[in-house]
Amino acid sequence: MTSTPISGPVAQKGKKLDTTKVRQAHVTGWILLGLAVLAAVVFGAGSEGTATFRLSRPNDPWALPDLLIPAAAFNYLVAAVLAFLGVRQFLRGGLRWTSLSLGLGMALAVAAFLVWATAGKGFSLTGMLQATVVAAVPITLGGLAGVLSERVGVVNIAIEGMLLAGAFTGALLGSLVGGIGGLVAAVVIGGMFGFILAALVVTYRVDQIIAGVVINLFVLGVTSYVSSQVYSEHRFLNNAPIFSPIRIPVLADLPVLGPMLFQQNLFVYGAIVMVAVATYYLFHTRMGLRARSVGEHPRAADTLGINVYRTRYINVTVAGMVAGFGGAWFTLGSVGRFDENMTNGLGYIGLAAMIFGRWHPVGALMAALIFGFANSLQQKLALLNTPIPSEFLAMAPYIATIVLVAGVVGRARAPAADGEAYVKE
């Protein structure tokens, strides 16, 4: 990671780094030019009439007028901007804004696609954004759980299992003692699995990935076993109440933002608060600094008198509690009932969101919003009858993620001691 100050190799290395950067800038340029062609030839030439985006619902107090966009003209404009951004990559100074250009280009391409799909029809933008936020909740919380434990140097593959355990416990206890009880139990169980993960990797020095995979297998086994063995006969055990949305006065009436952020249920507010608290904790408190030092260089931290083992135990347990809360969303926050393997890999997407977000809570939130957006886009677009097979629409976000990770986040660095057991001397 650190280069030694020897003139020859460093100069050579610097030069080589530059060529990589140039190549990356050029690749980005080609991608942007490709998107420009796509926007012009397919989306521009292929759209007629006006795309109507509804921003308000009928009985909103402060109604905004519908957004009317002349489809073809808008898409040609987007194509022009994309072409400009693309060409810029090859000119002098093109290296400086590579990531930003790529991000902006992707966003513009999505906008052009939406306008093309909506041309001549109407589409509720607010509804989609609201669905985006909802879909992002479990991914955000999963990603946050990942951030919290990987920042202290514990790789957390077990997010999936912790989410599933939270969902299961939420449904079971929610059915027996009510929503709040279920939520608390889900958080406790999530924390318990966090503690187990910490015990396995810190005290018993099991390989971190093995420990995570084991927890996932175990939780999947137990929850599937109970739901097929017990729930089929005793249905009342799997019939939990659902948390209803809480309107925040005044703010909930804001157009677009109101339905998106201020008419949601507990889980959405909880996720936002947790991201804020985690960011403050990790980057603005002494405890957070200590936690991060444990993840970067445990021996140095130990030498300074930080208890590496205790720090790892605490942070990984808290990560588990966050994931347990996120898991409860699946049952108490959305359908009120547990199904086998209902997290369906979202924990792994949370893991991807964490890496995509560069091991930062806010980054994980942003990445989760992108995944959530893609998810809701795909669902809403089914209503619009586009000629593209829905499977390809469903694939698009994942392909975009690969492109973005390769182009933008490629050089993101995990905490230095991530995945290493620490043995006190």
242/400 with CB nearer another protein: 400
Site for another protein in 379-418 (CB under 8 A): 389, 391-392, 394-395, 398-399, 401-402, 405-407, 409-412
> x/- binding map, residues 163-202, to another protein, per CB under 8 A?
-------------------------------------x--
Smallest gap, in angstroms, from Cβ of residue 135 to another protein? 14
40/197 with CB nearer another protein: 197
Nearest to 355 by CA among 397, 296, 307, 418: 418
Contact between 29 and 86 (Cβ < 8 Å): yes
How far apart are alpha carbons 365 and 202 in whole angstroms? 28
14/345 with CB nearer another protein: 345
Residue 70's φ and ψ, nearest 5 degrees, are -65, 110
81 lies in the binding site for another protein (CB under 8 A): no
237 lies in the binding site for another protein (CB under 8 A): no
138/258 with CB nearer another protein: 138
Distance between terminal CA atoms of the chain?
A: 25
Smallest gap, in angstroms, from Cβ of residue 204 to another protein? 4
Q: CB count, 10 Å around CB of 420?
A: 15
Site for another protein in 112-131 (CB under 8 A): none
Smallest gap, in angstroms, from Cβ of residue 371 to another protein? 10
Site for another protein in 206-235 (CB under 8 A): 206-207, 209-211, 213-215, 217-218, 220-222, 224-226, 228-230
Q: Is 153 left (phi over 0), alpha (psi -120 to 50) or beta?
A: left
6/423 with CB nearer another protein: 423
Report the relative pairing of strands 67-70 and 50-54 from DSSP bridges: antiparallel
Site for another protein in 15-44 (CB under 8 A): 24
> x/- binding map, residues 312-351, to another protein, per CB under 8 A?
----------------------------x----x--xx-x
Whole-angstrom CA distances from 109 to 75, 265, 297 are 9, 32, 42
178/345 with CB nearer another protein: 345
| Residues in CB range of 70: below 8 A, 6 or more apart | 50
145, 171, 352, 369: which one contacts another protein (CB under 8 A)? 352
Smallest gap, in angstroms, from Cβ of residue 196 to another protein? 9
277 lies in the binding site for another protein (CB under 8 A): no
| 409: amino acid identity, one letter | V
357 lies in the binding site for another protein (CB under 8 A): no
420 lies in the binding site for another protein (CB under 8 A): yes
Contact between 151 and 291 (Cβ < 8 Å): yes
Q: Which residue ranges make up the site for another protein (CB under 8 A)? A: 24, 200, 203-207, 209-211, 213-215, 217-218, 220-222, 224-226, 228-230, 299, 340, 345, 348-349, 351-352, 355-356, 389, 391-392, 394-395, 398-399, 401-402, 405-407, 409-412, 420, 423
